[in-house]
């Protein structure tokens, strides 16, 4: 599912970036942005590094969900999904030898604007298993709850301190497989109650 989320984020950025913008032409990477990765850059790149995965218990629920067949005539109840926050550190990287910082800031600004315009991930860009899970997928953009110690984080990667966006996507992970239509139970559409219309004696 996490790989499908990576592919979804890539599709969101490439499909919704303004035509001709730096964002539309940038490479999208999910690699660890360490010094070795930086040395291999040859084009303007937006890096989306997944650095944290946690259960979101604030929106946890005990309410079961109902899975229905395509014709709505069969259904079953499933355990409620577990909500998982996937946090990405998004940074811009330019191989330019002049004005690299300005180019990176422009790319990061375009990414920020695009993500703010999509507070939930559109169904049209969902990939793999995400397309059959429980939408919508809410996001948090530029949250202050990012990498806790930025200087230490970048020092560990042998990199200089770098501006970044904290992008969090909340997934709904089902703990049970959704059964096939044939395995679902019939939906009760109506109940007929028979009553005795005899006149009571006496």
Confidence (pLDDT) at 182: 45
Long-range residue pairs from 153-158, CB within 8 A, at least 24 positions apart, any chain: 153/89, 157/32, 157/33, 157/34, 157/35, 158/34, 158/35
Confidence (pLDDT) at 97: 84
What's the whole-model pTM score? 0.76
Q: How many residues does the chain have?
A: 202
Average pLDDT for residues 97-107, to the nearest whole number? 92
What integer best gives the mean pLDDT of the chain?
80
Determine the Cα–Cα distance for residues 5 and 202; give it in Å rounded to an integer: 74
Confidence (pLDDT) at 192: 54
Share of the chain above pLDDT 70, in %: 70
List the chain domain ranges. Answer: 2-186
Confidence (pLDDT) at 139: 77
| pLDDT tens digits for range 11-22 | 999 999 999 999
Confidence (pLDDT) at 75: 65
Confidence (pLDDT) at 155: 79
Distances (CA, A) of 20 to 26, 44, 93, 107: 10, 14, 18, 12
| pLDDT tens digits for range 32-90 | 999 899 899 999 999 999 998 998 888 766 666 655 555 555 566 666 778 889 999 99
């Amino acid at each position: 599912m996490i790989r499908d989320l990576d592919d979804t984020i890539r599709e969101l950025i490439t499909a919704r970036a303004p035509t001709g913008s730096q964002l539309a032409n940038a490479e999208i990477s999910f690699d660890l942005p360490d010094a070795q990765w930086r040395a291999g850059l040859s084009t303007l790149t937006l890096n989306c590094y997944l650095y944290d995965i946690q259960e979101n218990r604030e929106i946890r629920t005990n309410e079961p969900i109902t899975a229905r067949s395509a014709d709505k005539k069969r259904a079953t109840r499933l355990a409620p999904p577990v909500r998982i926050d996937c946090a990405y550190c998004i940074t811009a990287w330019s191989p330019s030898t002049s004005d690299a910082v300005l180019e990176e800031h422009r790319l990061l600004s375009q990414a920020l604007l695009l993500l703010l315009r999509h507070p939930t991930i559109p169904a049209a860009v969902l990939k793999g298993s995400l397309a059959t899970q429980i939408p919508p997928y809410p996001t948090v953009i530029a949250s202050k709850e990012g990498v806790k110690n930025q200087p230490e984080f970048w020092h560990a990667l042998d990199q200089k301190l770098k501006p970044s966006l904290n992008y969090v996507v909340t997934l709904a992970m089902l703990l049970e497989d959704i059964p096939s239509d044939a395995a679902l139970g019939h939906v009760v559409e109506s109940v007929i109650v028979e009553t005795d219309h005899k006149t009571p004696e006496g």
